[in-house]
Amino acid sequence: MKNAASFIAVLLFSAIGFAQNGPKIEFAAQDNTIDYGKISKSDNGVRSFEFTNTGDSPLLITGAESTVSSIIVTKPAAAVMPGKKGKIDVKYNMASGPIRKTITVETNAVNYPDGRVALKIKGEVL
């Protein structure tokens, strides 16, 4: 009985350690949010979410999109290797009024549930 308990404990700790392996995405923007602030319509509307693969496997960005057509999202086409940086560009159409939008990024990162990350932009176009 003691050997079975020891075996289960070792198996459990191995599974926990294994779950931590893989690609991990860490964004530079606090709370995964970019604040445009108060800007004019003449601004080009492009901002970048910079990130680092802090894991030990290549990071794949398989999708990046917004639910609204006023945002164009550009993601890296190639895998981001461990320790390397990448960026996701977001272009807002600069319509007058408040900016409160979310972009959903789909990855193979193990540090987010199902590899899905919500990125947010906020601000106001004057």
Question: Residue-wise over 74-94: b if at least 16 C-beta within 10 A, else e?
Answer: ebbeebbebeeebbbebebeb
What confidence score (pLDDT) does residue 11 get? 46
pLDDT at 17: 46
Residues 6+ apart with CB under 8 A from 47: 34, 36, 89, 90, 92, 121
| pLDDT for residue 77 | 95
pLDDT greater than 80 at residue 8: no
Mean pLDDT, residues 5-26: 63
**Residue for token pair 């709370």:** 31
* pTM, rounded to two decimals: 0.82
Name the residue among 86, 88, 60 with its Cα closest to residue 75. Answer: 88
